């Protein structure tokens, strides 16, 4: 690995801030070519994760992770749609060990745990 994922992410963040969003596609294409040239393709997922983290810290995007015991349908899916704003990144995961309910995490910081497992843990651990 020639450069760390954090280095690439910081470079992209800085370039986007200087050049503006209208050149974002070209900047991402250039970064991709540089990563490939340096032989760091295996780190691309980590670079993207670092980049998203930097955007979250800067307050430019909001990432919502919704974990549920089963696939969300009906009223639960509609509820999630009401809290997602344009520009948000939404990640849905299925965690059968939750038994029931759902857990919503925003920017890996704030969390609402409405899962049955979370309620039972609170009852017996607290």
**Percent of the chain surpassing pLDDT 90:** 1
Strand order in the sheet with 110-113: 89-94, 63-68, 102-106, 110-113
Residue range 90-104: average pLDDT? 85
Higher local confidence (pLDDT), 21 or 92: 92
Query: In Å, what is the CA distance from 96 to each residue of 117, 118, 121?
Result: 10, 13, 16
Domain borders along the chain are 5-57, 63-125
Q: Is the pTM of this model over 0.95?
A: no
Per-residue confidence at 126, pLDDT binned at 50, 70, 90?
low
Per-residue confidence at 101, pLDDT binned at 50, 70, 90?
confident
Residue-averaged pLDDT of the chain: 83
């Amino acid at each position: 690995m020639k450069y760390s994922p954090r280095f690439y992410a910081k470079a992209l963040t800085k370039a986007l801030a200087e050049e503006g969003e209208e050149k974002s596609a070209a900047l991402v294409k250039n970064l991709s070519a540089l990563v490939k040239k340096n032989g760091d393709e295996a780190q691309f997922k980590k670079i993207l994760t670092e980049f998203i983290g930097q955007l979250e810290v800067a307050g430019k995007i909001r990432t919502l992770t919704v974990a549920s015991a089963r696939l969300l349908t009906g009223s639960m899916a509609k509820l999630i749609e009401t809290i997602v704003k344009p520009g948000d990144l939404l990640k849905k995961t299925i965690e059968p060990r939750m038994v029931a309910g759902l857990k919503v995490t925003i920017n890996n910081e704030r969390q609402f745990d409405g899962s049955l497992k979370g309620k039972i843990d609170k009852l017996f651990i607290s």
